[in-house]
Chains A and B, each alone.
Chain A
Amino acid sequence: MPQIFPRESNALPHLSVGALLAGSVVLIFLVWYYFSPEYTDVGYAPEQPVAYSHRVHVDQLGLDCRYCHSFVEVADVSNIPATETCMNCHEVVKPQSLALMPVRASWSDGSSIPWVKVHQLPDYAQFSHAVHVNNGVGCETCHGRVDQMDVVRLTEPLSMGWCLECHREPEKYLRPNEEITTMGYMHSGGFLEENLSRIRQEGIRPPTNCSACHY
């Protein structure tokens, strides 16, 4: 009987098993990396209706985060400031500025400025700003160096795995409560021990069960 397949095809079974194994590993890696917010979301910096610069206000003028985002310590949602907050200063500072036209328009007719949300969590993930900032998680830890940004940019993936990194080992990320809004905070030497003793004293137990955030 003549051979149906050439001799080389003997390698086919081994090759296909190898390709299947290697292929599935590669596929998992590709999905793990390219489908993650690390790849898809970080760097998101939409154009805002007003060219507001955090760098100017925070770094040069020295405003504290909580001057505008005033609910952060008491509410789940840290607020986008109302137009009135802007106008506290801008009634007298640069009252004729062209760049502030939309702000004055909003002030006069009471409409909201359509700010574009940058740090968007899915609706099924519940997050409380108050709980975090009152227990030693700095603004910078999740939002990055906002004082260096002219346009606010997403610097962290805000993925579940990223949340869990800190929830599992909070001692690596916590800072003293008086340093919460500090930008460019440097951990002191021996901060791990300090944080661990603080965690024990204050009973900080970040939950890692599903219903902590999904309820």
Chain B
Amino acid sequence: MASSTNKTVTLPAGADPPLVTGNLGFHDITQLVSYHTEKRPPSAWYMAIAVSSTLLCVLLIMIAYLVWNGIGVWGNNNPVGWGWPIVNFVFWVGIGHAGTLISAILFLFRQRWRTAINRSAEAMTLFAVICALLFPTIHVGRIWVIYWTLPIPNQMEMWPQFKSPLLWDVFAVSVYFIVSLVFWYVGLVPDLATLRDRARNALRRRVTGFFALGWTGANRHWRNYEKTYLLLAALATPLVLSVHSVVSFDFAVSIIPGWHTTIFPPYFVAGAIFSGFAMVMTLMILARKIYGIQNIITMDHLEKMAIIILLTGSMVGFAYITEFFIAWYSQVEYEQYAFLNRATGPYAWAYWTMMSCNLLFPQFFWIKRLRRSIPFLFITSIIVNIGMWFERFVITVISLHRDFLPSSWDYFNPTIVDVLTFAGSFGLFMTLFLIFLRYLPMVAIAEVKMVLPESDPHYYHKHDSEGEEH
């Protein structure tokens, strides 16, 4: 760390730029973040909630229509029994991966830049997982017996099939949801205490006080908190890898050409992080602008996220090409056909959409100027998620529509209910996220303060230890 005798830190060449810009102090950060939960939200928020809650209503109507009529209202039919609902499930659960990656893995690797985005990324994770859980739930058709997926004693003496990856999925995703929720909540406790202490009316004080669990900021509280947070990070880390691995087993454990590949678990995890970061980026670019927190979520944060998108996008692209290579190398006729059919068959449009969105577009992030261009980042983050949706479509639909039996080959077409349900799930996601932005601190106040230079215990004594590392 560079030493200096005055408060303005001068950076030597090659040092990391400050994580928080604009010379913000401790109180400025509290004020900047808490303020948005206390005042009337900006008009953009009202417009957004109007749109998203309308979409949410569409979703509810579609679910009611579906439950009443059965899943024949969707395009799912032989041979494509897993249509959009499963595509959407994998899409949403993939998006839900960035939160835990940022909060757990980046925490364990001491990536201090995570503090600016971890709160909202974790919230996004929770809401995405809620959307994800919705789709298999309604896809079972008889939604009123969904509890059969849980091992609950019953008069039928019937237990879930523990040999089925679909059941592993139930456990993997619900464990992931619970751990993410606990992790998110534990991280919120000090900030809720901040909101409580700033509260002007009794109701707000009581509600935030209830959830702040009597936090006073005592040394003992901080010690317990940091220990808990570290332990939870360690617990959550394997989950980041396991959840999407298990999701990939839904496909990989079967024998359908195009599904039955060992590359699926790492390839799915990379894709999940890829899409999750893209979604965080989409949301953060909007939020930092609308809420004026560009000094906390800086250009450098966005650039670091762009680099992760570039990295994971290249991994995903590598996996696409590896699949093709293995299809050729395996000499398995069916495997080879499945992949040729992807690239040149009736769904070639979907395949090439996926390839260009996921493999091609993120490669522009090698250029620093584009990594730091807000419009380019925003557009690319959306393109990445379009591409990742198509990846799941390619895997699910293209593999199923032509299996071993040519007489059952068919072309899958979604119905309007498919489309509206998917659009509605964005309504659910955005409504929850907007409610989060309105009522909870969107940035981890306490954690951002920890990465300020002033938090360094030696900050005010730099001149005593000239040139020494601390």
Residues of B within 8 A of A157 (CB): 155
Beta-carbon nearest neighbor of B154 in chain A: A32
| Chain B 206-229 per-residue mask, 1 if CB under 8 angstroms from chain A, else 0 | 100110011000000000000000
Give the complex CA separation of A162 and B155 in angstroms. Answer: 8
B155 touching A38 by the CB < 8 A rule?
A: yes
Q: Are B157 and A4 interface neighbours, CB within 8 A?
A: no
Task: Using A1-B197, A4-B205, A4-B206 as known contacts, say yes or no to A13 and B213 having CB atoms under 8 A apart.
Answer: yes
B72 within 8 A of A: no
By the criterion CB–CB under 8 Å, are B196 and A161 in contact? Answer: no
B338 shortest CB reach to chain A, Å: 29
Whether B405 is near chain A, meaning CB under 8 Å from some CB there, is no
**Complex formed: what's the CA distance from A32 to B209 in Å?**
39
Collect the chain B residues with CB atoms within 8 Å of residue A159's CB. Answer: 155-156
Q: Is the interface of A mostly helix, strand, loop or mixed?
A: helix
Contact A28 B153 (CB under 8 A): yes
Identify which of residues 186-241 in chain B touch chain A, using a CB-to-CB cut-off of 8 Å: 196-197, 205-206, 209-210, 213-214
From B157, B205, B210, B214, contact of A160 by CB (8 A): B157
Within 8 Å by CB of B209, from A4, A35, A164, lies A4
Residue of A nearest to B157 (CB): A161
Residues of chain B lying within 8 A (CB to CB) of residue A28: 152-153
Q: Return the contact of B155 from the options A4, A5, A10, A161 (Cβ within 8 A).
A: A161
**Interface residues of B: mostly helix, strand, loop or mixed?**
loop
Complex Cα distance, B210 from A38, in Å, reads: 44
User: Which chain B residue lies CB-closest to A12?
Assistant: B210
Residues of A within 8 A of B152 (CB): 28, 32
| CB of A9 to closest CB in B, whole Å | 8
A28 to chain B, nearest CB (A): 6
Q: When each residue 1-27 of chain A gets 1 if its CB lies under 8 Å from chain B and 0 otherwise, what string results?
A: 100110000100100000000000000
Chain B residues with CB under 8 Å of A162's CB are 155
Could you say which residues of chain B place their CB within 8 Å of the CB of A37?
155
Given the complex, which residues of A lie within 8 Å of B157, measured CB to CB? 160-161, 164-165
Which residues in window 139-153 of B have CB below 8 A to A? 152-153
Q: Which residues of A contact B158 (CB under 8 A)?
A: 160-161
For the complex formed, measure the closest distance between the CB of B450 and the CB atoms of chain A, giving whole angstroms. 24
Cβ of B156 and Cβ of A5 under 8 Å apart? no
In the complex, chain A residues whose CB is within 8 Å of the CB of B214: 5, 10
Q: Which chain B residues lie closer than 8 Å to A13 at the CB level? A: 213
B53 to chain A, nearest CB (A): 30
- Residues of chain A within 8 A (CB-CB) of B209 are 4-5
Asked whether A160 lies within 8 Å of B206 as measured between CB atoms, the reply is: no
A1-B215 Cα distance, complex, nearest whole Å:
13
B379: min CB distance to chain A, Å:
45
Is A36's beta carbon under 8 Å from chain B?
yes
CA–CA, A28 to B155, complex, Å? 11
Partner of A5, one of B153, B154, B197, B210: B210
CB of B197 within 8 A of CB of A160, answer no
Report chain A residues within 8 Å CB of B155: 32, 35-38, 157, 159-162
With beta carbons under 8 angstroms apart, the residue of B154, B210, B213 that contacts A161 is B154
Chain B residues with Cβ below 8 Å from A164 are 156-157
Q: Mark A42-55, 1 if CB is under 8 A from B, else 0.
A: 00000000000000
Taking the closest CB of chain B, its distance from the CB of A207, in whole angstroms, is 14
**A161 CA to B156 CA in the complex, in Å?**
4
Nearest B residue to A36, CB-CB: B155
Name the residue on B nearest A161 (C-beta).
Answer: B157
Complex-state Cα separation, A56 to B154, whole angstroms: 39
A36 to B153, CA, bound (A): 11
Chain A's closest residue to B206 (CB) is: A4
* Beta-carbon contact of B153 and A4 below 8 Å: no
Min C-beta distance of B13 to chain A, whole Å: 47
CB contacts (< 8 Å) of B156 on chain A: these are: 159-161, 164
Question: For residues 139 through 184 of chain A, which have their beta carbon under 8 Å from a beta carbon of chain B?
Answer: 157, 159-162, 164-165
Smallest CB gap from A5: residue in B = B209
Q: Indicate the member of B152, B155, B157, B205 with the most A CB atoms within 10 Å.
A: B155
Give chain B residues whose Cβ lies under 8 Å from the Cβ of A35.
155
- Which A residues are in CB contact (< 8 Å) with B210? 5
Complex Cα distance, B197 from A90, in Å, reads 91
Query: Nearest B residue to A1 by beta-carbon distance?
Result: B197
Q: Pick 18 A–B contacts, CB within 8 A, sort by A.
A: A1-B197, A4-B205, A5-B206, A5-B210, A10-B214, A28-B152, A28-B153, A32-B153, A32-B155, A36-B154, A38-B155, A159-B156, A160-B155, A160-B158, A161-B158, A162-B155, A164-B156, A165-B157
Q: Which 10 A-B pairs have the closest CB atoms?
A: A161-B157, A36-B155, A160-B156, A4-B209, A159-B155, A161-B155, A164-B157, A32-B153, A161-B156, A28-B152
Give residues in A with beta carbon < 8 Å to B. 1, 4-5, 10, 13, 28, 31-32, 35-38, 157, 159-162, 164-165
B residues contacting A by CB (< 8 A) are 152-158, 196-197, 205-206, 209-210, 213-214
- Known contacts A4-B206, A13-B213, A35-B155; 19 additional CB pairs below 8 A are A1-B197, A4-B196, A5-B206, A10-B214, A28-B152, A32-B152, A32-B153, A36-B154, A36-B155, A157-B155, A159-B156, A160-B155, A160-B156, A161-B154, A161-B156, A161-B157, A161-B158, A164-B156, A164-B157
